[in-house]
Amino acid sequence: MAARGFTTFLARASKKGLSNCPSARSTRVSPIIWSSRGYRELNRPPTANEMPRPAGIASFMRLPVQKDAKGLNACFVGVPLDIGTSNRPGTRFGPRQIRTESVMCRAFNKDTGAAPYESLNVGDIGDVPVNIYNLEKAVEDIKKFYSAKILAMNCIPITLGGEHTISYPILLAMKAKHGPVAMIHVDAHMDVSPAMMGNKIAHGTPFRRAVEAGCLQGNLVWQIGIRGQDYDYSDLKYAKEQGFHVIEAKDCWYKSLVPLMDNIKKELKDTPVYLSFDIDGIDPAFAPGTGEDSI
């Protein structure tokens, strides 16, 4: 349920009273929504006053863990894959470490007013049991998991990677559900190489494969922060031929990106969109833990 619908529900509920809802009688009221099954309490991350930060189950923000996305509006899911990287491996440990660090996250952002746990039911569904010995098999594993355990339940996945190969099977699953989608991609690299050492599946090729599979609406793709060296002009030429909007890092310097994002939102309208943030979109001086650092 959207935040607007949740607010409306609260306004109506305050007039009618919530005597039939168990959570309304508790000392600390948890967010609730109305569903076809009646009142339903939303999952809420525990605060550091309720559970010390070094304690508790190491899920994302110590949210409840479940085996699939049933009953969730959004879910955190790990994809511990790094066999498609060309330089430094290690991102197979990314999902676990992100969850560990997530204890420092809080449920409300006072600067933006964002309070997602007040209107969305969110949980952690663990990791995709991905094949770490066979990349093509791993792609199938990821696609099937996302299709059957997340998208079939009308849930929005929030993925913890894993290197960028994982975007290709996720987009395949999204296409099966929604048709071709839009994409906002923050990265140092465009990841549209035709192949890497003769292999079509790798961390530098996912978005060329996605185009070939009909997963993306080219005119609704934004690649932001592209920078650094390349072998030649061909990848940039290919991206622009597909209609991608390539915003290089130098075009982001010394200016607000609010106008850019406002324009993107206008263009997107109600189109389903895949958001991908590669850690090397950040300068390696501040985020050195990447497989392919770019100055």
**What are the boundaries of each domain within the chain?**
1-41, 44-281
- Whole-number average pLDDT of the chain: 88
162 prior amide bond cis, ω within 30: yes
> Which one is predicted more confidently, 26 or 103?
103
Interval 27-49 mean pLDDT: 69
Instruction: Say whether pLDDT at 20 is over 70.
Output: no
Do 259 and 169 form a contact (C-beta atoms < 8 A)? Answer: no
Instruction: Say whether pLDDT at 52 is over 90.
Output: yes
Q: Strand pairing of 74-79 and 156-161? A: parallel
Radius of gyration of the chain (CA): 21
Interval 28-53 mean pLDDT: 74
Q: For the segment 104-148, what is each residue's pLDDT rounded down to a tens digit?
A: 999 999 999 999 999 999 999 999 999 999 999 999 999 999 999
Interval 19-25 mean pLDDT: 34
* CA 278/CA 184 separation, integer angstroms: 11
Give the CATH H-level superfamily of domain 44-281: Ureohydrolase domain (3.40.800.10)
Q: For the segment 202-248, what is each residue's pLDDT rounded down to a tens digit?
A: 999 999 999 999 999 999 999 999 998 888 999 999 999 999 999 99
- Which amino acid would we find at residue 276? S
* CA 129/CA 145 separation, integer angstroms: 9
Largest CA-CA distance found in the chain, in angstroms, rounded: 68
- Name which of 189, 254, 181 is nearest 221 in CA terms: 181
- pLDDT at position 39 is 56
What pTM does this model have?
A: 0.86
Q: Residue 7: which residues within 8 A CB-CB, separation 6 or more?
A: 119
- Name which of 155, 159, 201, 210 is nearest 177 in CA terms: 155
Q: Residue 93: which residues within 8 A CB-CB, separation 6 or more?
A: 80
- pLDDT at position 289 is 81
**pLDDT interval class at 287 (50, 70, 90):** confident
* CA 150/CA 161 separation, integer angstroms: 16
Instruction: Say whether pLDDT at 12 is over 60.
Output: no
